[in-house]
Structure 1
Amino acid sequence: MTRQTGTLSLDRRALLGGAAGALLAPGVRAQRANDVLTFIEGSDFDTLDPAISRTRSAEILFYVMFNRLVRWTDTSLSAIGPDLAESWTISDDKLTWTFRLREGVRFHDGTAADAEAVKFCIDRLRDPAFGSPNRSLYTAITAVTVVDPRTIRFTTEQPHAGLLENLAESSASISSPTAIRRHGRNYGRNPVGSGPYKLEEWAPGERTVLTRAVPSARFRQIIYRPVPEGEARLIELEAGTADIATGIPPEATARVRANPRLKLEVIPSSFQVFFELNCARPPFNDVRVRRAIQFAVDREAIVQRILGGFGTVPDSFVAPGVQSYEPIGKHPYDPDRAKREIAAVFPGGFPEKIVMWTSSGRYLKDQQVAEAVQGYLNAIGLQTEFRAWEWASYQQTLYRRTPNVPGTGYGTNAAHMWVLGTSIPTADWRLSRRYQTGQSANILGYSDPRVDDLLNRARVTLDPAARLDLYHQANRLLWQDNPPNIPLYNQSQIIAMQRGISNFNAFAFEIPLLGEVSKS
C-alpha cells in the first residue's frame, strides 16, 4: 500500500454554484464528531438486500451490517476464518461441510441468527424462482440441512474447491428470515442483519445512516452519502463535512498532498474496467471483429493522459490481485491493423452506428475514458452513438429482464457495447459469472464451450496448482482467442481522508473496511 499526504484547494468552488455553498453552510462541521463517520463516494445503490445487490457501494455497508458464515481474515485474501460459524469440518469424500455456529447471536430485530436462519438465506439464494444474480455461486450445494440450532450441514454432488470462498462473499450475508417474510420484495429497503451496525435511515440519492448495534462498534453512526461529482467530494473534505472520500480525481491529488489536514491513500486494486461487447448482435457477434477492435484503443494514452498514471494497462484478462492472474502481454495500439481486420469482415464498412453506453461517476474517469474510446472507434471508420448514465439507472437498464428479446434477454440489445468493471478477486466467480454460458450476469450473450469446460473442471479440482492451471487456460482463451470485451485499464483506489482517520484499510476488490476505522 502506498501512503501519501495531500491537499484540497477550493479554487473551483464557483464551478459548483449553490451546491458548494450548501456544503459550507454554518453548523455542518459539527457532523464531524468523533463518534460519527461520514463516508462519501460517487454512486448510490438500489437495494440493501445482499442476495440481490450488484453494487460495490452497498457491499461496503454489508460488511458492517451482516455476518456471513466465514470471512476473509486479511485484505490479501490469503485465508478464511470464522464469522457466524465458529468452526467447520469437511467429510473424507469432500462432499459434506458441517458448520458449528457461535452461540447466542441475534439479528437486530431480536430473532435468533441460528441454523434455521442460515438455511433460509442459503436456500433463498439457490432458488431459481427468487432470481438472485449471485445464484450460480451456490447451485453446487444440493442440500442444506439443519442438524440442531447451532449446526448446519451443506451437501454437494461433487467436491467444490471454492465453497468457502463463495460463503465469504457479501451475497452470502445472513439476513433475518422474519424481516424477509415481513417485507417481501421490499426487504432491500428494510434490511436486518446481525453485524455491529444497523440501518436507521435510507434516503436514496441523499444518504444512508447506520447506527451502532453493539457496544463494541467504534462509531455511534456511519453515514454514507453518494456525491457523483469528484469536485464536490473534494470540497466536502476541505470543508470538514466528510471524513473519507473515494474516487478522488487524479488531477486533484496535488491538492490533497498540499493540505496538512488531509491525507491520501493510493491502494492497489483488483479492479479492471472494460467495454463489454454485445456478442448477440452484429458486429460483435463475429469474433473476428472482437479481436480486431482490441488494436483500436490506445490504453497507454488513457492511463497516462486521462487517469494521470493512477492505473495500469491490462496485460491479462484479469487484474493483478485476482487469483487467476498471470501476465500474458498487452494488446498493442495498431489502428491500421484494426481497420484492415474489420474491413475484411465488412468490406463496405459496418453500416450501423455503434451504440456505446457508459456510467458517469461510478469508475475512475469512466465517462472521459468512454469518450476517448469513442474517438478511437471513429478514427478507424466506425460510426458511433454515445450515452452516459447515472449509475443506479444504468444498472437497472443493463440487467432488466425483457421477455422475448433475442440474444441476452436482459434488455441490453439497444447497445452494442457498455462500460463495466469488476474487482471480484476469486477466480471462479470472476470468470464464470459473466462469461460462462447461461450464467445470471452473462448479459452479453457470450458462449464458448472451451471456457465452460475449463471453469467446470476447475470448480471440482481440489489440487491448487492444477486448479490454477485450468484458470490460466481460460484466461488465455478470453484474452487472445475469443475475447468478450475490450479491457481498458486496471484501476487504482485513490482515497482521501481527514488526517485524524487511522486504521484505514481496504480489500483489493475496493471495499473499505469502515468497521475498523478510528477517528480523532
Structure 2
Amino acid sequence: MKLNRRSFLMVTAAIPLTAALGAPLAVKAGETGTIRWLSPENTTGNWDPSMNTTLANTRIEFIVFDTLLRYPMTGDDLLKPELRLVESYEMTDGHTVDFVLKKGIKFHDGSELTAADVKATLEYYSREGAARAFYPGPVKVEVKDDHSFTVTTETFPAHSFLFLQVYSPILRAADVATPEKLAGSMIGTGPFRYVGTTTDGHNFEAFADYWGGATGNIQKIQNRYVPDGNARMLALMSGEAEVIERLEPEQYDSLKKNKDVATQKVNSVENRYLHFRCNKPPFNDYRVRRAAAAAIDREGLLSLIGEAGYGADSVLPPMKLGSTPQPDYGKYDPELCQKLLAEAGYPGGKGLPPLEYITSTGFYPKSKEICEAITAMLQAEGFPVTLTVMEVAAWNDAYYNVNAGNMIDGGWAPNSPEPNIQLMLQYYSKVGLVTGVNEPELDKVLLKQVAETDMNTRAKIISDEVLPMVAEKLPNQVLFNSAMMIATAAKLTDVTMTAAGDMDFTGATMA
C-alpha cells in the first residue's frame, strides 16, 4: 500500500485514539541550580549496568559514572576516542592494550579509582550471562600498579574492545564483589552522585570532587518517568520541568517558536526497527520476512515522522565501522512481496496465521501512528496483522521476550562505532536479542568479522559480506534512523546532547 497523507488519514480514522492528554506534573517548584528532567521511558529497577540495555538506565549512567574512553560519534574522525579516566593507552598488538589511569580520580564515596577497580569491572562485564552482552568473549586484565594495567582480548579484536568502552562504566571493585549492591545503588566517578529514589523520582546531587570539573551551577537533578508526551510538554511550558526528551515532531515545531523554551536536535545513532520474531512461523522463513519488508512504503513513513527521523539505507547507521549503503535496501515493492509470499507457500497471504504487531505509546515519536500505517500496508498485501499498543513499561517487558507477538516495534541506539552492538546481539543465533533468529549462513560471516584483528579488513568484511547477508536474511527491517529532540527551559543553558541522546549537564547553568 503506497502511503500518502490522504490514505493515512483514511486508515487511522477507523482506529480509535486511546492516548489521553496527560495532566500537568505535580512536582516541587524549581530552585536555582535544580533540574527536573522528565523521561519517556521507565528504568528497570536494577542499577547494575551489566544487566540492562534500557535507554532510561544508560541516560542516568551517563551522569553518574564515567568510562575509560568515549567516542563523540560526530565530526571528521568518528573512530578517534576522547580520553576520559585514562591518561593514555597503546594497542601493542591485535589483542592487547596497555592503559595508564589518570591519578586522583575519586568515587562518590571518597575512595580513589585504581586499576583493581578497572580489572573487576571489565572482567565482570565480559562474563558469560551478562544481559548487556556487548563483549564477544572474556577479557583478562593484568594490574601492573595502582594506575597501570594491560587488557587482553583472546577471541575478538583489541580495537573492538576500545569501541566497547562507551558502555563499560567503571565500578568499584567492592561493589562488583557484591552484585546486590550494584542492583540497589550506584557509586561512580561521574559529575553527579545518586542520593536515592523517592515518589518524586530518582535524585542526584553534584559531586564536589568530580575529576572533570563542572563549569555550570547545577547542584541537583531529579529524573522522573512520565510516559505521556503531552504531559511532559505541558510540564515544561508551565514551569514544572526544565528538561524533556523525545519530542514529537509537531511539539518540536511548536516549541522552537516559544521564547521561554530552547530546543535541540541531532541526527542520532538510533535505528528504528520492525523486528520479526524469527523463532516461530511464519517469520522463521526469511522469504516471509522479506515479503513483509517489501510491503512497507518507508518513504511514506518518513513523511509521517517528519523532523524526528531521516532515511536509512543499511542496517547500520553511518557512524558505525563498516557501514555502507545497501543497494535497494528496504525498497517498497508489492510485486516482490507477492512473489516471495507465493514461494514461501502463502500465495496472497493465504494460510498465514494471525499475526500480532506490538508497539508502545509515549516513548518513540509517532510510534502508534507509524505502526498503524505499517499494519494497514501489511494488511493490504494479505498479512493478517493486528496491532497491540502498550504503555512503555509493558512494551519494555515484551521487547526482549521473543515469544511475545510476531513483530515488535523498537529502536537501538548504541553510542559507539562498534557494529557488533547491533550485529552480534541481534543477528547471531546464540544471542538473537529481540529477533530470536537462527541463520547458520549469517552466523558464519558474523564470526568471520569478529575474529579479524585488522580494523580496515574487518570493515571490508562487514560492508561486503555481513551487511548484504543481513539484508538477505532480514531478521528485522530498519524503517528509518531517529533524530533525537529535546526541549529545555530557556533559563537553563549549555546542556549538550550526544548522538545517542545522552545529556551532559556539567557546563549547564540555571538562571
Q: Under TM normalisation by the shorter chain, which class is it? A: 0.7 to 0.9
Who is 1:237 aligned against? 236
Unaligned runs of 5+ in 1: 1-14, 400-410
Mark the CA change 1:105 to 1:327 in structure 2 (over 3 Å): closer, same or farther. same
Who is 1:150 aligned against? 147
Written as runs of structure 1 = structure 2, the 5 A alignment for 1:402-417 is 411-417=401-407
Cα distance in 1 for residues equivalent to 2:240 and 2:185 = 27
Who is 1:314 aligned against? 312
**1:161–1:462 Cα contact (<8 Å) kept:** yes
Who is 2:208 aligned against? 214
CA deviations 1:386-429 (Å, max 9, x no partner) are 32233333333443xxxxxxxxxxx4223211112112242232
CA deviations 1:134-156 (Å, max 9, x no partner) are 33416252x22222222222123
CA deviations 1:200-246 (Å, max 9, x no partner) are 12248x52111111254432112212221111111111112222212
Who is 2:323 aligned against? 325
Q: Report deviation, 1:477.
A: 2.3
CA deviations 1:124-173 (Å, max 9, x no partner) are 12222xx21233416252x2222222222212336433121112x22x11
Unaligned runs of 5+ in 2: 1-19
Cα distance in 2 for residues equivalent to 1:259 and 1:136 = 41
Moved over 6 A (4+): none
TM-score normalised by L of structure 1:
0.85
Q: Does the residue aligned with 2:462 lie in a helix, a strand or coil?
A: helix
Cα distance in 1 for residues equivalent to 2:272 and 2:500 = 12
Mark the CA change 1:283 to 1:313 in structure 2 (over 3 Å): closer, same or farther. same
1:194 aligns with 2:217: no
Q: Report deviation, 1:340.
A: 4.0
**2:127–2:138 Cα contact (<8 Å) kept:** no
**How much identity, in percent, do the aligned residues show?**
24
Mark the CA change 1:232 to 1:254 in structure 2 (over 3 Å): closer, same or farther. same
Cα distance in 2 for residues equivalent to 1:470 and 1:516 = 41
The answer to which of 186-195 and 293-302 deviates more is 186-195
What count of residue pairs does the alignment treat as equivalent?
479
1:429 aligns with 2:429: no
Cα distance in 1 for residues equivalent to 2:262 and 2:194 = 29
Who is 1:489 aligned against? 480
Written as runs of structure 1 = structure 2, the 5 A alignment for 1:273-288 is 273-288=272-287
Written as runs of structure 1 = structure 2, the 5 A alignment for 1:25-174 is 28=28, 30-31=29-30, 33-46=31-44, 47-72=46-71, 75-76=74-75, 77-91=78-92, 93-128=93-128, 131-137=129-135, 139-141=137-139, 143-157=140-154, 159-167=157-165, 169-170=166-167, 172-174=168-170
Mark the CA change 1:357 to 1:213 in structure 2 (over 3 Å): closer, same or farther. same
Cα distance in 2 for residues equivalent to 1:227 and 1:197 = 22
Mark the CA change 1:174 to 1:257 in structure 2 (over 3 Å): closer, same or farther. closer
Who is 2:374 aligned against? 373
**2:402–2:436 Cα contact (<8 Å) kept:** no
Mark the CA change 1:113 to 1:355 in structure 2 (over 3 Å): closer, same or farther. same
Cα distance in 2 for residues equivalent to 1:208 and 1:45 = 10
CA deviations 1:265-285 (Å, max 9, x no partner) are 221112111111111211111
Cα distance in 1 for residues equivalent to 2:134 and 2:318 = 24
Cα distance in 2 for residues equivalent to 1:249 and 1:317 = 24
Who is 1:504 aligned against? 495
The answer to which of 331-340 and 97-106 deviates more is 331-340
Letter in 2 for 1:371: E
Q: Does the residue aligned with 2:159 lie in a helix, a strand or coil?
A: coil
Cα distance in 2 for residues equivalent to 1:434 and 1:70 = 25
Letter in 1 for 2:411: G
Cα distance in 1 for residues equivalent to 2:364 and 2:473 = 25
Q: Report deviation, 1:361.
A: 2.3
Letter in 2 for 1:438: K
Cα distance in 1 for residues equivalent to 2:500 and 2:64 = 18
Cα distance in 1 for residues equivalent to 2:477 and 2:95 = 39
Q: Report deviation, 1:353.
A: 0.7
**2:484–2:501 Cα contact (<8 Å) kept:** yes
Cα distance in 2 for residues equivalent to 1:271 and 1:443 = 16
* C-alpha RMSD over aligned residues: 2.6
Match of 2:506 among 509, 515, 518: 515
TM-score normalised by L of structure 2:
0.86
Letter in 2 for 1:384: V
CA deviations 1:320-348 (Å, max 9, x no partner) are 33333222234332334423431332247
Mark the CA change 1:341 to 1:71 in structure 2 (over 3 Å): closer, same or farther. closer
Q: Does the residue aligned with 1:51 lie in a helix, a strand or coil?
A: helix
Q: Does the residue aligned with 2:356 lie in a helix, a strand or coil?
A: strand
Who is 1:293 aligned against? 292
Written as runs of structure 1 = structure 2, the 5 A alignment for 1:469-480 is 469-480=460-471
**1:68–1:174 Cα contact (<8 Å) kept:** yes
Who is 2:11 aligned against? none
Q: Does the residue aligned with 1:161 lie in a helix, a strand or coil?
A: helix
